[in-house]
Structure 1
Amino acid sequence: MKFSDMPYQRIDFDTTKKQFEEIIREFANASSGEEQFEIHKKYYQISNEVETMITIAQIRHDIDTKDEFYDKEQAYYDEITPILSNLKVKYKKQMYESPYKSYLENKIGQVAFKNIEISLKAYDEKLIPLMQEENTLITSYDKLIASASIDWDGETLNLSLIKKYLTNQDREVRQKAYDKFCEFFEENADELDDIYDKLVKNRTRQARELGYDNYLQLGYYRMNRNCYDIKMVESFRNQIKKYFVPFAESLHNRRKERLGITKLSYIDEGVYFLNGNPTPIGTPDEIMEQGQKMYSELSDETKEFFDFMTENQLFDVLGRKTKKAGGYMTYLPLYHAPFIFANFNGTSGDIDVITHECGHAFQGYISGKDPIKEHADITMETAEIHSMSMEFFTEPWMKQFFAERTDDYLSMHLEAAAAFIPYGCMVDEFQHIVYGNPDMTPKERHYAWNQLEKVYRPHMDYSGSAFFEKGGFWQKQLHIYDYPLYYIDYCIAQTCAFQYKVWMDENFEEAWKSYIKLCNLSASDFFTNMVKEVGLDSPFENRCIEEIVNKLKNRM
């Protein structure tokens, strides 16, 4: 069904609550594992209905943040979603404590029960008011970012649409664009600090209500980290500091020489060539048509997937003034349909949408066919392998999008992917500092960010920007506000995607088979097991990062 034709009906809380209470009662009275599993299928049906309606409302709200109807719907779900989550936890608690647990575990897997165990540590009914407040704060940040109205030579742009000028080949244009970009953040500095301060304190209160010292352990549970912990992540970041930061700095130095400048200012950060970054050819419609051709040639599975997405209008990728910033893939379980939301802006990022986000969507399309719903509950580091690896697997088709500048794009993409890892780890360490010290003032948080810049990105020069010089760069990173502790997943996944890059350069067919296997495994096993099963090294293992760096050096 086309997305525009999908009916929307607000979830009636009282009705849904009664449905959950009924299956909880049925489950408790069941006399066998077989009977409980049949009841569990009813749980799937209710959950799918609820999740689909909430997701439709979210997408339509994000498409136009000024839409009054869906603005009210989003506010409604900000309020009731924590209560619905609590009902789900009550149901899952019965599963976890079932006398027929072994039968159920055989049906839906050990990972699912480990995730239930984690969820019981992460939620409690008493947290509902705080979770509602947290949702409202997140929405307020998203709406503030979406409200940016930047005058550009008589044209009104938002933060997504001005990005193409931030990487213009003319340094004067870039400077002008950054001045306007930063002006928005400077004008809203107090509100940005206030929202984040309230979020940190809110999340800390939630954690302490559950008996944790701070939000970090609760945050790991909410990120569903079921096979690695804080110490393992810290060790991973230390490996990045030791091996990847020097490597990334060498790439920045090479780029600096290519641009003919003596230092990399913030206005040069996203620029890779003196004649400007490669940009995609063709209109958005033509780009999507080329995307369909690319996926039809990549494999039978990707052809089926992309045709389904196109026929059912499951893309909304054009940038618009009142559209939420950023991009994502989400899923509509009633229709077994992924949906891709993005903001095309005329940069190479438009192509990343049909590689990165389609990597997510392709895996979602595959896992949606699995009758065991829990197998789709992938952890984020696994999800990002699907997306980041697809960026590399589609490289043979980049000529369709970049023509004579294809080699420039491929070089830029590899450099940018490598340079990203130190930044992503910096975002993660910043959040560990913030949530480990929740009483920090906004000024102290900005100072902490500045100190981390010296460790992870020593090449950066923010001279001339009051906003960046004070340590405000992180406030444009919506993950820090909306999805706490998420960002390290990108870094872990990128190291796996690099392994696929090396592998596909040697044997594309074997690497692709491994990738398809990983997509099919979904969440049927733990991340650390699955990467080994498909022939990759775990990023947490000793020497893994060092070996990746050495292999990348040979390709640059």
Structure 2
Amino acid sequence: MKFKEMPYERVDLKEKKVQFEALMKEFANAKSGEAQFEVHKKYYKISGEIDTMITIAKIRHDIDTADDFYEAEQNYYDEIEPEIIEMNVMYARQMYESPYRSYLEEKIGTVAFKNIELHIKSFDKKLIPLKQKENMLTTAYDKLIASAEIDWEGETLNLSLLRKYLTHKDREVRQKAYAKYSAFFEANGEELDSIYDQLVKNRTKQAKELGYDNFVELGYYRVMRNCYGKDMVENFRKQVKEYFVPFAEKLHEQRKKRLGIEKLSCKDENVYFANGNPDPIGTPEEIMNRAQSMYGELSKETKEFFDFMSDHELFDVLGRKKKRAGGYMTYLPDYGSPFIFANFNGTSGDINVITHECGHAFQGYLSGKDPIKEHADITMETAEIHSMSMEFFTEPWMDKFFGDRTEDYLSMHLEEAATFIPYGCMVDEFQHIVYENPEMTPLERHNAWKQLEKEYRPHLDYTGFPYFEKGGFWQKQPHIYDDPFYYIDYCIAQICAFQFKIRMDENYQEAWNSYLKLCTLSASDFFTNMLKEVGLDSPFDDGCVKKIVEKLETSYIDLS
């Protein structure tokens, strides 16, 4: 069924509570593990119906944040989501404490039961009012960012559509665009500070209610850190500071020479060539047609996937006013359908999106065929390997999109991927500082960001853009507001994606087979175990980051 034809009906919370109560009673009365598993299949159906309706409403709200009907639906789900979580946790606890747990664990896996444990540790009924408020605050942030109306030579642009001018080949155009970009955040700075301050205090209170010292431990449970913890993440960031930051700074120095400028300003941050970044050729429709051709040639599995997505119109990728910023992949359980949301703006980012989000969606399409639904509950660092590696696996087809600037795109993409890692680690360390010190003032948070910029991105100069100069750049990053502690997953995954990149340049088919295996493993095993199974080194292991930097320096980057 095409997305536009999918019927929507608001989830009736009272009705679902009755269904859950009946389900739990039937589960409790089951006299064997086999019988309980049959009841569990009914849980798949009920939870799938709920998730599908909530997801349809979210997508349609994000497509047009000014749509009154779906804004009301989003507000409704912000309010009832904690109660839905409560129902799921109550049912999960019943499974966790089942006398037939060993049989159930054999059916759905040890990872699923570890995740149940984390869900139990991260939720209690008394958190419902706080979580309702948290949802309202994140929705307020998303709506504020989407509300940007920036006058550009008589045309009104949002932040996504302004991006093509932020990366324009003319430095004066970039200066003008960046001034308008910065001005939006300065004009809304007080509200952005207020929203985040409330979020930090809200999440800290949730943690205290559950008996934790601060939100960090609760935050890790919420993002399903089921096989590694804070110390391992800290050690990873330490390796990045030691090896990847110097490497990234060499790349920035090389880029500075290529641009012919004396000092890199923030307005130069995403610009790689003096004649401008390579832009994709053709209309959005032509890009999507070429993408279908590309995935048709890559493998029989990707052909089946992309044809399914196209036939069912499971893309909304055009940038529009009032559309939520950013891009994502989500999943509609009742239809076995991934959905890709994005904001094309005429830059190379359009191609990054269609490869990155298709990496997510491809894995979602494969895992959707697995009858054990828990296997689809992948942790985010695993999910981001699927997407970031797909960006590299599609490189042989980039000439379809960039023509005679294909080599420029490939080198730019590699540099972007490498220089992102310090930024992503900086976002993560910032969040640790904030949530370990929840009484910080907004000014202290801005100062903390400024200090981290010196450690992770010393090349960068914000002179002339006062709001960013004082440490406000982080407020453009939705993950900091919406998904605390998620961002490091991109960095962990990028290290793994680089390993696939190195392997595919040596033996493409062998690397693809390994990647396909990782996608099909889904969440059937723990992240660190799956890496070993497909032949990847763990980013947490000492020496892993150093080895990748050495490979990149000698094999792929000209640092002469």
Q: Report the residue type matching 1:491 in the other structure.
A: C
Secondary structure, counterpart of 1:331 in structure 2: strand
Secondary structure, counterpart of 2:159 in structure 1: coil
C-alpha distance in 2 between matches for 1:421 and 1:222: 23
Q: Partner of 1:177 in structure 2?
A: 177
Q: Partner of 1:393 in structure 2?
A: 393
Q: Partner of 2:339 in structure 1?
A: 339
Alpha-carbon deviations, 1:497-530, whole Å to 9, x = none? 0000000000000000000000000000000000
Question: Which deviates more from structure 2 when the two are superposed, residues 21-30 or residues 516-525?
Answer: 21-30
Q: Partner of 1:22 in structure 2?
A: 22
CA deviation after TM superposition for structure 1 residue 354, in Å: 1.2
Q: Report the residue type matching 1:238 in the other structure.
A: K
1:188-337 alignment runs, 5 A limit: 188-337=188-337
Secondary structure, counterpart of 1:462 in structure 2: coil
C-alpha distance in 2 between matches for 1:532 and 1:402: 36
CA deviation after TM superposition for structure 1 residue 463, in Å: 0.5
Identity of aligned residues (%): 73
Secondary structure, counterpart of 1:10 in structure 2: coil
Q: Partner of 1:424 in structure 2?
A: 424
C-alpha distance in 1 between matches for 2:457 and 2:181: 21
C-alpha distance in 1 between matches for 2:144 and 2:322: 11
- Residue correspondences, number: 556
Q: Partner of 2:551 in structure 1?
A: 551
Q: Partner of 2:114 in structure 1?
A: 114
C-alpha distance in 1 between matches for 2:231 and 2:301: 38
CA deviation after TM superposition for structure 1 residue 29, in Å: 1.1
C-alpha distance in 1 between matches for 2:514 and 2:396: 18
C-alpha distance in 2 between matches for 1:24 and 1:178: 55
Alpha-carbon deviations, 1:226-252, whole Å to 9, x = none? 000000000000000000000000000
C-alpha distance in 2 between matches for 1:413 and 1:467: 29
CA deviation after TM superposition for structure 1 residue 311, in Å: 0.3
C-alpha distance in 1 between matches for 2:442 and 2:322: 29
CA deviation after TM superposition for structure 1 residue 335, in Å: 0.2
Q: Report the residue type matching 1:25 in the other structure.
A: K
Q: Report the residue type matching 2:48 in the other structure.
A: N
Q: Partner of 1:151 in structure 2?
A: 151
* Structure 2: runs of 5 or more not aligned: none
Alpha-carbon deviations, 1:187-218, whole Å to 9, x = none? 00100000000000000000000000100000
Q: Partner of 2:139 in structure 1?
A: 139
1:31-110 alignment runs, 5 A limit: 31-110=31-110
C-alpha distance in 2 between matches for 1:542 and 1:483: 28
Q: Partner of 1:5 in structure 2?
A: 5
Alpha-carbon deviations, 1:447-486, whole Å to 9, x = none? 0000000000000001111111110000000000000000
Q: Report the residue type matching 2:527 in the other structure.
A: F
Q: Report the residue type matching 1:47 in the other structure.
A: S
Alpha-carbon deviations, 1:72-130, whole Å to 9, x = none? 00000000011000010000000000000000000000000000011110000000000
C-alpha distance in 2 between matches for 1:149 and 1:354: 26
Q: Partner of 1:479 in structure 2?
A: 479
Q: Partner of 1:531 in structure 2?
A: 531
Alpha-carbon deviations, 1:402-441, whole Å to 9, x = none? 0000000000000010000000000000000000000000
C-alpha distance in 2 between matches for 1:48 and 1:478: 27
* Counterpart check, 1:168 vs 2:186: no
C-alpha distance in 1 between matches for 2:23 and 2:221: 26
Alpha-carbon deviations, 1:120-156, whole Å to 9, x = none? 1000000000000000000000000000000000000
Q: Report the residue type matching 2:27 in the other structure.
A: F
C-alpha distance in 1 between matches for 2:453 and 2:180: 23
CA deviation after TM superposition for structure 1 residue 262, in Å: 1.0
CA deviation after TM superposition for structure 1 residue 353, in Å: 1.4
Secondary structure, counterpart of 1:279 in structure 2: coil
C-alpha distance in 2 between matches for 1:77 and 1:21: 20
C-alpha distance in 2 between matches for 1:335 and 1:199: 34
Secondary structure, counterpart of 1:156 in structure 2: strand
Secondary structure, counterpart of 1:342 in structure 2: strand
Q: Report the residue type matching 2:168 in the other structure.
A: N
CA deviation after TM superposition for structure 1 residue 302, in Å: 0.1
C-alpha distance in 2 between matches for 1:347 and 1:43: 44
